[in-house]
Amino acid sequence: MTAFLIVLLLLFAWSLTADRLVRWSVTAPLAFAAAGIALTRGPDPAVPLELDAHGFQLGVELVLAVLLFVDATESKDYDRLEKTVGEWRLLGIALPVSVGLATLFGALLFPDAGWWLLVVTALVVMPMDLAPVSTFLRDSRVPLKVRAALNIEGGLNDGLISPVFVFCVANVVSAEGNTVGGLVLRAIREAGLALLIGAALGFCAGWLVRKSLAGGWAGVGSLRLAGLALPFLAYSAAVLAGGNGFVAAFVTGLCYAPAAHAIGGDSLELVHDAGQVMAFAVWFVFGALTADEFATGGIGWAVVGYGLLALTAARFVPVVLSLGGLGLTWPERATVGWLGSRGVTSIVFAVLAAAQLPAVQGTFVVNAMCATVLLSVVLHGLTVGPIAEWFERRTPAAALAVIPPAR
167 domain residue, yes or no: yes
Q: What is the pLDDT of residues 329-358, one digit of tens each?
A: 999 999 999 998 888 889 888 888 888 888
Q: Is residue 183 part of a domain?
A: yes
pLDDT in tens, 140-168: 888 888 888 888 888 778 767 877 787 78
- The pLDDT, as a whole number, for residue 52 is 65
- DSSP code for 297: T
pLDDT at 386: 87
Reported pTM: 0.78
Q: Does a structural domain hold residue 198?
A: yes
pLDDT of residue 138: 75
User: What's at 275, amino acid-wise?
Assistant: G
Integer Cα distance of 114 and 70 in angstroms: 37
Amino acid at position 379, single letter? L
Could you read off the pLDDT of 192-227 as tens digits, one per residue? Answer: 898 999 999 999 999 999 999 888 888 877 888 988
Residue 7: inside a domain: no
Least confident of 2-16, 305-319, 348-362: 2-16
**Confidence label for 311 from pLDDT (cuts 50, 70 and 90):** very high
- Any domain includes 42: no
What is the radius of gyration, based on Cα positions, of the chain? 21
Give me the number of domains the chain comprises.
1
Please check whether residue 14 lies inside any domain of the structure: no
Model confidence at 2, in pLDDT bands (50, 70, 90)?
A: low
CATH code, domain with 181: 1.20.1530.20
Percent of the chain surpassing pLDDT 90: 26
Is 310 part of any domain?
A: yes
387 is in which domain, residue-wise?
A: 53-401
- pLDDT at position 318 is 95
Please check whether residue 3 lies inside any domain of the structure. Answer: no
The three state secondary structure string of 332-356 is HHHHHHHCCCCCHHHHHHHHHHHHH
Report the pLDDT value the prediction gives residue 75, as an integer from 0 to 100.
Answer: 62
CA–CA distance, 33 with 286 (Å, rounded to integer): 6
Contact call for residues 112 and 167 (beta carbons, < 8 A): no
pLDDT surpasses 70 at 184: no
Rounded Cα gap, residues 349 and 246, in angstroms: 12
Summarize the confidence of residues 24-44 as an average pLDDT.
79
For 172-182, how does the pLDDT look when each residue is reduced to its tens digit (9 = 90+)? 766 545 565 66
| Confidence category of residue 405, pLDDT binned at 50, 70, 90 | very low
